[in-house]
Amino acid sequence: MASNLFTSLFNALSDPKSYYALQKEMNLKAVAETFFNSLAGKTTFDAVILPEDLGSTQTFDGTKAIRVRPIGIYDMIIPEPCTFKDPAIVKRILALHPVAYPDSDVSSDGGGLQTPEGLPFSGRVVECFYRTGPQENGKLRGLTYRTKKTTSGGRGINLSCLESEMEAMGEGAAAFAAGGYTPNNTYEVPNSQRSSIQEFAKKIKNSPSFSGWSGAALAGVIANAKAESAFDKLAAGDSVEFYEKAYKNGTVKEARIKKVRKRNINNKCSWGYWQLNICPDDGSGKQLADSKGIDTTTPEGKKQWVKLMSSDEEQFSWVSKKIAKILSQGKTGADPYQAAYDITVEFERPVNKEQKGKERGAVAAGIYKEFKSLLDSPPDSTNAEPYVFGPDNTDDEPYVFGGDTDQGPLK
């Protein structure tokens, strides 16, 4: 009987058309087995949160329905949005992704998923499952998400086009994690920025507050100042309007918004080269103000704060002490990339801090390469004594506060 079976199979495969059909069927079966076996036994899976629409700034608080891209499952079904350059196509691709609903274990405060300061949430990762799975006659019903201990990093999913779209709109682009997308880690100092970087590098190098720091570590400090303020000592950010929008969305609580309304100066909360925030209790700016006895809820305190920010050395003194504690290689470290990354992640802590850390690390490496001789040289011996801030210092004209309207950085 076996002999007759193989004789029949041989006769069938002798026909070229039959042989091709068998090969095609076997290939399809192999692909199906590989794909479905990779999902065998799965009850949960990770998914990256996507915006509902291109350019959406809706704040996520952990209690709403969200659009998600399951990691490692949808790659064969729906292409990544940023594979395409046409915004119209990206928009359609986003709309093809499934919508997930919060699990009952997600509490009213976002179940631990709430983004600091109520920022948009795209690019974060949640754990998903189906309430009715394929084991029930192949149905997929009730896609549900819940919290994860690790909630960031899209693990290779590129969301960079969504970030650039947000930047063009001027709306909190840093919230997009770019799905773990790693940019080209090389940076060449543009000719248009050489003079400003060199001038600030000289200030840092000659500051007594940064005495004993390696040139590599200083490059990390400079890269973060460049990113935060473009070397404007009175740069102001984190507007009250931003907090008010988050308050209306329910992601900033009543107690916090009251502090923002009282402590802001000229409608801004973050100030200086490294954007020290004076509004929240745990803001580095608030801590600095407290150490100087400055109360920014009063008109006089607001004037004192701006005068404090007008001193390079006061900013250098405070920030150098804070940063020195978090550098993994210490202030004498030899890697500018690592220094900038540590400062970004541990001190500045922007949304999507890991990705921003990589970007600023690349900038620091480029700055160190370009200005190595300056940063590694001994400080200028003619460096002046540091400015000492205090109520008795009358060597400057008093700053006149210009009211409570949003007029940009105070000068």
> 17-75 pLDDT, tens per residue?
776 777 777 776 666 555 555 555 667 888 888 877 665 555 455 567 888 888 766 66
**Nearest one of 183, 163, 217 to 359, comparing CA atoms:** 183
* Predicted pLDDT at 266: 92
What was the pLDDT predicted at 274?
95
pLDDT at 368 over 90: yes
Q: What's the count of helices (H) and strands (E) in the chain, helices before strands?
A: 14, 8
pLDDT at 149: 52
* Most confident region among 128-132, 211-215, 382-386 by mean pLDDT: 211-215
User: Residue 226: its pLDDT value, please?
Assistant: 94
Query: Which residues are paired to 66 by β-bridges?
Result: 100
Mean pLDDT of 102-109: 52
The pLDDT value given to residue 14: 66
Looking at residue 5, what is its pLDDT?
A: 52
- What pLDDT score does 62 carry? 58
Res 65: pLDDT: 80
Q: What pLDDT is stored for residue 40 in this prediction?
A: 59
Tell me the CA end-to-end span of the chain in Å, nearest whole number. 97
Higher pLDDT among residues 266 and 141, named by residue: 266
Is beta strand 276-277 parallel, antiparallel or unpaired with respect to 268-271? antiparallel
Average pLDDT of the segment spanning 263-273: 94
Report whether pLDDT(265) > 90. Answer: yes
pLDDT score for 47: 86
Q: Is the pLDDT of residue 400 over 80?
A: no
Q: What is the mean pLDDT of the chain?
A: 75
CA distances (Å), 34 to each of 37, 75, 237, 361, in order? 5, 14, 51, 40
State yes or no: pLDDT of 381 exceeds 80.
no
Q: Per mean pLDDT, which range of 35-39, 233-237, 297-301 is the poorest? A: 35-39
Q: How confident is the model at residue 171 (pLDDT cuts 50, 70, 90)?
A: very low
pLDDT at 354: 86
Task: Return the higher-pLDDT residue of 240 and 114.
Answer: 240
pLDDT of 13 strictly over 70: no
164-178, 188-202, 308-322, 346-360 — which is least confidently predicted? 164-178
Structure tokens at 269: 């909360």
Asked if pLDDT for residue 325 goes beyond 60, the answer is yes
Q: For tokens 């076997």, what's the residue?
A: 26
Residue 81 pLDDT level (bands cut at 50, 70, 90): confident
323/328 Cα distance (integer angstroms): 10
Share of the chain above pLDDT 90, in %: 36
Residue 176 banded pLDDT, cuts 50, 70, 90 = very low
Report residue 324 as tokens.
């020195």
pLDDT at 211 over 80: yes
pLDDT value at position 378? 85
Q: What is the pLDDT of residue 405?
A: 30
- What letter represents residue 182's amino acid? T
User: What is the layout of strands, in order, in the sheet containing 276-277?
Assistant: 236-239, 268-271, 276-277
User: How far apart are the C-alpha atoms of 340 and 110, rounded to whole Å?
Assistant: 31
- Burial label for 306, CB within 10 Å (0-12, 13-18, 19+), is buried
112 pLDDT tier (thresholds 50, 70, 90): very low
Q: Are 147 and 127 in contact (CB under 8 A)?
A: yes
**Mean pLDDT lowest among 22-31, 42-51, 122-131, 145-154:** 145-154
Lowest mean per-residue pLDDT among 131-140, 157-166, 341-350: 157-166
Q: Map out the domains of the chain with their CATH numbers.
A: 45-180 (2.40.50), 191-375 (1.10.530)
Strand, coil or helix: what is 319?
Answer: helix
Question: Which residues, 6+ apart, have CB-to-CB distance to 52 below 8 Å?
Answer: 58, 66, 67, 94
Q: What is the pLDDT of residue 91?
A: 85
Q: Is the pLDDT of residue 232 over 70?
A: yes
**Residue 369, pLDDT score:** 93
Element (H, E) at 400: none
Which helix (DSSP H) or strand (DSSP E) does residue 355 occupy?
Answer: helix 353-370
Position 283 pLDDT exceeds 50 = yes
